[in-house]
Chain A
Amino acid sequence: MEGSAGNHEVYPQFLDFIPKEREWLVNRDGQRRHGPSEEKELELRLGPPGDQDWSMRDSTRKNPGDKSESLLSLGYFSSMTQNISNGSQNQMFSASENPVGAVISSPWSSSAYGYRGKTLHNQQQTKVPSFLQLTSPLQGLPVVAHEASQRCCTEAVDIQGAEKKAFSPSSATTAVPNSSQKRTAPGPVVGWPPIRSFRKNLASGSSSKPAPVSQNRVPDKVASRTPVETCRKGLFVKINMHGLPIGRKVDLKAYDSYEKLSSAVDELFRGLIAAQQDSCPAGNQNKQEEEKALTGLLDASGEYTLVYEDNEGDMMLVGDVPWHMFISTVKRLRVLKSSELSALSLGSNKEEKVRH
């Protein structure tokens, strides 16, 4: 589509509003198509803000015969709607055209959702006479839900409809004016309620509450983010090896004894150490020891020793306390050169810790 000038077919109403130059002013008396069965054309004037020139104001405010004021009223308002033509009441929800599909039994939700997919042509409006009287009783304040237009884009409307459908009450059988609006769990709408991701899932404290399902194409990567990454299935702690810049992670729940942990550590790093020694220019004499096993991790008898950092930040020798106690306090593991052990301050030198 190229330019506005050529869009005569698509925007007949705008052609009149938008001359070739960038003037948007509209002749106030023009353009009014005021047939009884036509919708009201809204005169638009591009002026400074505050220019209350919306011509509808002056028009058929009290013109009940004008069928263009076809307001959709909801069942509960039928007794209060004085301004609407009766014929419109049957247009409630326009179920056949409504992309949401099902007749939504609760009157409240549909009014918010009945607009999907409609175009300009079907927008209708009227003036509520007493709009400035805030304390006046609400006379004939219909909630206007417009008929849905023919689907101009089925795909788009379906997407939108799917969202809305998810939110409409599924099991409310009668349109009861129940203030608490009991309904089964409504499906999640993207970005609603408007709270940040890090505020979600607080009540349960865990991820048991469903995070909102994103309807976007883009995966909603933040929805499942929790501030603390506690994995209930395993206890993954970092393990760094002396001399290796890249650490690993081990799942301590996979082991039930120090021996198993030790052999696991051995397997993890054995290959990496050998690879590093191969690349080390000064390590030629170690080449024949291709994959030297890491032994003696637990008793400082080997070349390397296993230590850990506990929940108080202290470095401790692995193996002193029962396994279950170790599991509950360990935060990370390190494999150090045994020769460097004495240089570090080990927690066992401090006051006796009996806490778990």
Chain B
Amino acid sequence: MQRMACSFPDEVLEHVFSFVQCDNDRNAISTVCKSWYKIERWSRRRVFVGNCYAISPGMVIRRFPELRSIELKGKPHFADFNLVPDGWGGYVAPWISAMAAAYPWLEEIRLKRMVITDENLELIAKSFKNFKVLVLSSCEGFSTEGLAAVAANCRNLRELDLRESEVEDLSGHWLSHFPDDYTSLVSLNIACLGCEVSFSALERLVGRCPNLRTLRLNRAVPLDKLANLLRRAPQLVELGTGAYSSELRPDVFSNLSGAFSGCKELKSLSGFWDVVPGYLPAVYPICCRLTTLNLSYATIQSPDLIKLVGQCQNLQRLWVLDYIEDAGLDAVAASCKGLRELRVFPSDPFGPEPNVLLTEQGLVSVSEGCPKLQSVLYFCRQMSNAALMTIARNRPNMTRFRLCIIEPGTPDYLTLQPLDVGFGAIVEHCKDLQRLSLSGLLTDRVFEYIGTYAKKLEMLSVAFAGESDLGLHHVLSGCENLRKLEIRDCPFGDKALLANAAKLETMRSLWMSSCSVTFGACKLLGQKMPRLNVEVIDERGPPDSRPERCPIEKLYIYRTVAGPRFDMPGFVWTIDEDSAMRLS
């Protein structure tokens, strides 16, 4: 092999490698031989770091000197549901500083669940002359001032996507910082912003950027402004409306309808806050072209939803509130034969009683009617093993199945049994299942099924389930491809963790909160496994001020080659090899 490798000049190999873009394949290439490793590292342009603490910026820079694009993820997924206290970490600052010095030609930064400040944004804006793409997904720590710096300085910016980030809204004026001669915008997503942006600046920006294909407005953009925007950007492919309400006026309606009709490329719609149903027909002309429809903020009732989705024969992705009800999902099953992804969100998650007629039947209907359905997120209040088994048999091609029965510990409503066999059927039939979220009444048995069948499973979310460590042991010992495991409020303790310690090094991370893990076990793990960071998150004070058998609040374990981190707040405790308890 080595002889063959040397028989090609480096340039040829590099050219061949340039056709390989997938990270896993690139990683494989780099392990073939030293020569390939060297060529590959010099030619790698894009890197994905799934856990920003798994490696240090310096290590990345040393290995890949010519990066153009980096993606980083910070906080654990459960941070989305406020389970990670503020100040835990995920700061991007050290990365930005290091990259500002090392990668003057960096073009793309994508962050998820990280903390980024205005200073960081300003550094980005000033350091990277050819900066093109900034995606901040569920990030926080910055304000519109930082955005102004990016707008003002990044002359080649193509994408500014703030999806679901928390931005301190100081003023809507930041948008005006895009220079008048700036025309390269391709994608703008400001849907998460609360305050108004300067609308005239927005209009002018949209009008002068001929390549704009994605525009996601925020709620503050009124409906009667939308038509003008659309007329300036008829080439739009993805649109997020602002508030979709206005006094019903025929001229406004016809103006809007005409504007929509003029957008011949429009395939994705979102937004739809505060929907006035009378204005929905304005989008009917384009429904047949839609592949993605996000109505998850649209508080409209089932009949209006049915009329809308009934026309979307080419829909592939539908996000909707449970106002759609079973009847609406029947309509989806009948009309949207190409549906691949369905997400049904709860309209009234904290109400004690169901407020809509949405049951397991809706999901069963869609599983029957939509042969390509492979990704499901479904909030409901009742479920049965029979329904789950039906869904499993209907859709063995399912790859992502996340079911949230709103009340924890809810059994099969028909038989009052746990839902073990139902979920067992899911993992048994859906052999390519990559992601699974459990809910309802579940014993250790479901974990045995998962450990036995879910061989391709990469991410598992568990809450209020199981009976003993055996459950956790089944998962850790059986799921060969498990990368992320997040658990809350389950009776899992030390035994399964310690017995499967080596497994933890094969995973990206493990989160356990409100379980029965003791500090002693955490210390043991921390001492024995130097390539794991074992973080005890406990806001009650030092864990050793309580008996060692006392369960800790939260545990976050992740593999790392960077050693313990140094930016831990006071409520994160970790143990290193020399057994001293490390404080922040």
- Give A contacts to B, CB under 8 Å: 1-4, 7, 10-11, 14, 17-18, 22, 24, 42, 44-54, 56, 76, 108-109, 111-113, 115, 117-120, 123-125, 128, 131-132, 134-135, 138, 141, 143-146, 152-153, 155-156, 159-160, 163, 167, 177, 179-186, 188-200, 202-203, 205, 209-210, 212, 214, 216-218, 220-223, 225-229, 238, 311-313, 331
Select the stretch in B57-65, B232-240, B346-354 that faces chain A. B346-354
Residues of B near A311 (CB, < 8 A) are 222
B109 to chain A, nearest CB (A): 23
Instruction: Among A119, A134, A184, A228, point to the contact of B352 (Cβ < 8 A).
Output: A184
- Verify A112–B346 contact, CB threshold 8 A: no
How many A-B pairs fall under 8 Å by CB? 283
Residues of A near B469 (CB, < 8 A) are 42, 120, 123, 125
B542 to chain A, nearest CB (A): 11
CB-contacts of B198-212 with A (<8 A) = 198-200
Residues of B near A190 (CB, < 8 A) are 81-83
- Verify A141–B445 contact, CB threshold 8 A: yes
A13 to chain B, nearest CB (A): 8
Closest to A56 in B: B470
A153 to chain B, nearest CB (A): 3
How many residues from B make CB contacts under 8 Å with A? 123
Distance in angstroms between the alpha carbons of A16 and B425 in the assembled complex? 38
- Verify B449–A125 contact, CB threshold 8 A: no
- Verify A49–B477 contact, CB threshold 8 A: yes
Select the stretch in B42-50, B181-189, B334-342, B403-411 that faces chain A. B403-411
Query: Most chain-A CB neighbours within 10 Å: which of B461, B463, B479?
Result: B463
- The answer to the question of B31 belonging to the interface, with a C-beta cut-off of 8 Å to chain A, is no
Instruction: Among A134, A153, A180, A227, point to the contact of B194 (Cβ < 8 A).
Output: A227
- Verify A205–B274 contact, CB threshold 8 A: yes
Distance in angstroms between the alpha carbons of A184 and B350 in the assembled complex? 11
Distance in angstroms between the alpha carbons of A108 and B476 in the assembled complex? 27
Distance in angstroms between the alpha carbons of A115 and B470 in the assembled complex? 14
Known interface pairs A152-B549, A227-B219; 17 further A-B residue pairs with C-beta atoms within 8 A, sorted by A's residue number: A42-B495, A44-B498, A44-B499, A49-B476, A49-B482, A112-B489, A115-B491, A119-B516, A125-B467, A131-B449, A146-B468, A146-B491, A153-B546, A193-B346, A195-B345, A209-B348, A228-B220
Contact mask for chain B residues 468-485; partner A; CB cutoff 8 A; 1 contact, 0 none: 111001101111101000
- Verify A141–B420 contact, CB threshold 8 A: yes
Residues of A near B164 (CB, < 8 A) are 196, 198
Residues of B near A109 (CB, < 8 A) are 407-409
- Verify B81–A195 contact, CB threshold 8 A: yes
Distance in angstroms between the alpha carbons of A48 and B347 in the assembled complex? 44
- Verify A156–B540 contact, CB threshold 8 A: yes
Residues of B near A18 (CB, < 8 A) are 498, 524, 528
- With A131-B448, A138-B417 known as contacts, the answer to whether A152 contacts B498 (CB < 8 A) is no
Contact mask for chain B residues 79-90; partner A; CB cutoff 8 A; 1 contact, 0 none: 011110111000
- Verify B473–A108 contact, CB threshold 8 A: no
A210 to chain B, nearest CB (A): 7
Distance in angstroms between the alpha carbons of A220 and B404 in the assembled complex? 22
- Verify A193–B379 contact, CB threshold 8 A: yes
Distance in angstroms between the alpha carbons of A48 and B407 in the assembled complex? 36
- With A24-B502, A123-B493, A131-B449 known as contacts, the answer to whether A192 contacts B199 (CB < 8 A) is no
Q: Per DSSP, are chain A's interface residues mostly helix, strand or loop, or mixed?
A: loop
- With A120-B495, A156-B553 known as contacts, the answer to whether A228 contacts B416 (CB < 8 A) is no
Distance in angstroms between the alpha carbons of A125 and B473 in the assembled complex? 12
- Verify B491–A7 contact, CB threshold 8 A: no
CB-contacts of B45-104 with A (<8 A) = 78, 80-83, 85-87
- Verify A216–B441 contact, CB threshold 8 A: no
Residues of A near B345 (CB, < 8 A) are 195, 199
- The answer to the question of B443 belonging to the interface, with a C-beta cut-off of 8 Å to chain A, is yes
A246 to chain B, nearest CB (A): 11
- The answer to the question of B127 belonging to the interface, with a C-beta cut-off of 8 Å to chain A, is no
- The answer to the question of B27 belonging to the interface, with a C-beta cut-off of 8 Å to chain A, is no
Residues of A near B415 (CB, < 8 A) are 138
- Can you list 23 A-B pairs with a CB-CB distance of less than 8 A? A4-B528, A14-B524, A18-B498, A24-B498, A49-B506, A51-B477, A52-B478, A109-B407, A113-B464, A115-B516, A119-B549, A134-B428, A141-B443, A144-B468, A146-B467, A146-B491, A152-B547, A193-B406, A195-B81, A195-B345, A203-B299, A216-B539, A229-B169
Distance in angstroms between the alpha carbons of A108 and B333 in the assembled complex? 33
- The answer to the question of B17 belonging to the interface, with a C-beta cut-off of 8 Å to chain A, is no
